[in-house]
Amino acid sequence: MEDKLNQFFSENNFDFQEPHSGHLDRFERALNAQKIPRKTSWKWMSVAASIVLLVGFCLGVGHQKRQLDLADVSPKMEEVQTYFVSTIYQELKTLEENRSLDTEKIIENALEELEELEDVYATFVVELTKNGKQTRVISAMIKNYQQRLLVLENTLKQIENVKKINLEKNETYL
């Protein structure tokens, strides 16, 4: 072990010389020039950031108005909305189960239509929140759900037609 230490010190060139005169004075001047209280500045900044976040959160919550939805109108409308949402969900699930190379374009077009209908529905939600429970807005929301279901049903019919055509082509080649 002692041989390895001696070998290490003999192979490496360490500087054992004394530093130049005045080195300690220069070092002390450099240390004294950097008297910046770092801990207090970070504490101050973290407290300020916390206050800003707290004030922003309080203002955001205070100005945020709860948006009404069809389910908020009445218990009957809640049932209607639940029916449409669950039916649309089932139809979308069926749509995804039938996704293939042949049906990809049809499904993508339907999803784009549904997205547009959802955007229109969002405007109805804003209008319902803004103007109260008006019958025309509620009726438009229900029609929007009906249109979404119609799009999904038509898409599923198109998919069935594509499947039939493909089946007939495959039977012809047997």
Q: Are residues 55 and 120 in the same domain?
A: no
Q: Are residues 82 and 168 in the same domain?
A: yes
Q: Are residues 143 and 78 in the same domain?
A: yes
| Residue 9 is assigned to a structural domain of this protein | no
For the CA atoms of 10, 11, 17, 19, the dihedral, rounded to the nearest 10 degrees, stands at -150
- Residue 56 structural domain: 32-63
Q: Are residues 81 and 124 in the same domain?
A: yes
| Residue 47 is assigned to a structural domain of this protein | yes
Q: Are residues 82 and 165 in the same domain?
A: yes
Q: Which amino acid is at 93?
A: K
Q: Are residues 55 and 74 in the same domain?
A: no
pLDDT by 10s per residue, the chain, length 174: 677 777 777 777 766 667 777 777 787 877 777 665 555 555 555 556 656 666 666 555 554 456 777 777 788 888 988 898 889 889 888 888 888 888 889 888 988 998 999 999 989 888 888 887 788 888 998 999 999 999 999 999 999 998 888 887 776 655
Boundary of a domain, candidates 14, 45, 63? 63
User: In this structure, how many other beta carbons lie within 10 angstroms of the beta carbon of residue 141?
Assistant: 23
For residues 148 and 124, the answer to whether their CB atoms sit within 8 Å is no
Number of residues that this document lists for the chain: 174
Which string of b and e fits 9-46 if b means at least 16 CB within 10 Å? eeeeeeeeeeeeeeeeeeeeeeeeeeeeeeeeeeeeee
Structural domains of the chain, count: 2
Boundary of a domain, candidates 12, 41, 63? 63
Q: Are residues 102 and 82 in the same domain?
A: yes
| Residue 157 is assigned to a structural domain of this protein | yes
The whole-angstrom separation of Cα 36 and Cα 112 is 59
Place of tokens 């803004």: 130
